[in-house]
Each structure stands twice: as structure tokens, then as C-alpha cells.
Structure 1
Amino acid sequence: MTTHSRPERVGQEIQVALGDLLSRGELRDPRIGYITITGVKVSPDLRVARVFYSMMGTPEERSETQKGLEAAKGFVRRAVTAAVNLRVSPEIFFSFDESIGEGDKIDRLLREVRNKEGW
């Protein structure tokens, strides 16, 4: 049995709540395209939640999505607080997760080497 600290558990619950919010289409801002919530990091005092998301698209589309998410912060904050049943409503910050793109780039480079070397 693994033990998790409270901020990690709350982060997981916030991630699930955000996934439900996105899957139901409750964020109606057209700037927010198809995004995936890759993780949530919550401060030890549960007052700040940094939400990491990933998406495919151009840098301009990423910028527009970031603007849409920033505009929806208040709505997301209220919805998450209600869904997770927290006493204190955490301030939410959205950050683009570069790790998915970097992993894809590494995978592509390894495939090129494998094809070139004939592995």
C-alpha cells in the first residue's frame, strides 16, 4: 500500500475534477481547444494549484489556449472547489507541459537512427 501526502491526493482529485469539467464541455471558450491535463501540483498549504496541460498545435494556438484558460480561471476555481469539497479555494495557475513534445521529439530521433543504422 502506498502512502501519499495530502497535497498529492488533493492534486489527483483536482486533476479528475478538471478532466470531468473538460469532458462535459463546460469550458465553452472557443480559444480552448482539445487539451489534456497531465498533472496538478498543489502547495503544502493547499492554497495554490499549478495545473499542467498538454495539447497539439502551433505556438499561436498554444498562446490562445493559455489566454482562454486564464480567462476561465474563476469558473474553474469555483467548479474545482465544489467538486473536491475543499474548505479553501486554491488559486489555480495553468502551465503548458513541454514534456510530451520533448518525448515525441526524442522518439522521432530514435526512429531515425534505427532506420538509418538498420537496427
Structure 2
Amino acid sequence: MPKDFPRSRRVAEQIQRELAEIIRLELQDPRVGMITITEVVATHDLEHAKVFFTLLDGAARAPEVQQALTRAAGFLRTRLGPRMRLRLTPQLTFVYDTSVERGAALSHLIDNAVAEDRSQRPQPAADSDADS
């Protein structure tokens, strides 16, 4: 493999895929609901992995969902181990990912600025001779 694609990143991507499936199919905690694993960052020694998640129904429930995932970390790690076939399954730390909300807020600000700019520009006069 090329040096710009280290093992820790490959393992993190596999953890992301496997965790998404485990949470969707095996985790029975109703507090978790519909989440998306946006990114996993693993340390170089693969002892720890930071799991970033976002919610489909907004940030209001983020602390509750983060607490539920933290409590389920042992279960998730146990289920993840056989799927990963690593000598050591990383410790999982869950972090709510605010980048989606920040992106939506920035997009909204840009849209407002563009709309305001259009409203302040003088409208071109309708030229009746252009049709002739």
C-alpha cells in the first residue's frame, strides 16, 4: 500500500463500516435511534478509536445519544472484535459531530447574503426594442 494510506486509516474505515452495521442491527438501546457514523479516527497503535456520529433528527438529543453509546461501548467493542480480527480491539470513544450543522448554517448564511445582494442590485430596464 502507498505510504499516504496508513494501516490506522484503513482499520478506522473498517471500524466505521462494521460499527454502523452493529449499531443498526444489534444495538437494542432505543435512545440511540437513527445515527450516522461520519468518521472514525484511530491512533497509530490502534489502541483507541474516536467515533464521530451525527443524528438525523438534530442535535437536541446528542448528549443522551452520546451517553447511550458510551454505555454500550463495551458491547460494541465485543461485537467488533471478531469482525475485525485484530490482536487488540480499540477502545471506543464517541463524539457528536457538529460539522454537518455548521455546514448547513454556513450554507444558510451564504444563501441569505446572495439574496440580499440580489435585492440591492438595480434591476435592468426591460428593453422593448430587443424583441424587434
Q: TM-score, normalised by structure 2?
A: 0.82
Return the alpha-carbon distance in structure 1 between the equivalents of residues 46 and 23 of structure 2: 22
Partner of 1:9: 10
Would you say the 8 A contact 1:77–1:89 is kept in 2?
A: yes
2:8 aligned partner, one-letter code: P
Matches within 5 A, 1:18-57: 18-24=19-25, 26-55=26-55, 56-57=57-58
Gap regions ≥5 residues in structure 1:
none
Would you say the 8 A contact 1:31–1:67 is kept in 2?
A: no
Select the structure of larger CA radius of gyration.
2
Matches within 5 A, 1:1-119: 3-24=4-25, 26-55=26-55, 56-59=57-60, 61-118=61-118
Deviation at 1:73, TM superposition (A): 0.5
Return the alpha-carbon distance in structure 2 between the equivalents of residues 71 and 22 of structure 1: 13
- SS of the aligned residue for 1:95 comes to strand
CA RMSD of aligned residues (A): 1.7
Residues 38 and 58 of structure 1, relative CA distance in 2, 3 Å threshold: closer
| Identical counterparts, % of pairs | 33
2:13 aligned partner, one-letter code: Q
- SS of the aligned residue for 2:32 comes to coil
Deviation at 1:58, TM superposition (A): 4.1
Deviation at 1:23, TM superposition (A): 3.2
Instruction: Indicate the structure whose relative CO is greater, using CA pairs within 8 Å and at least 6 residues apart.
Output: 1
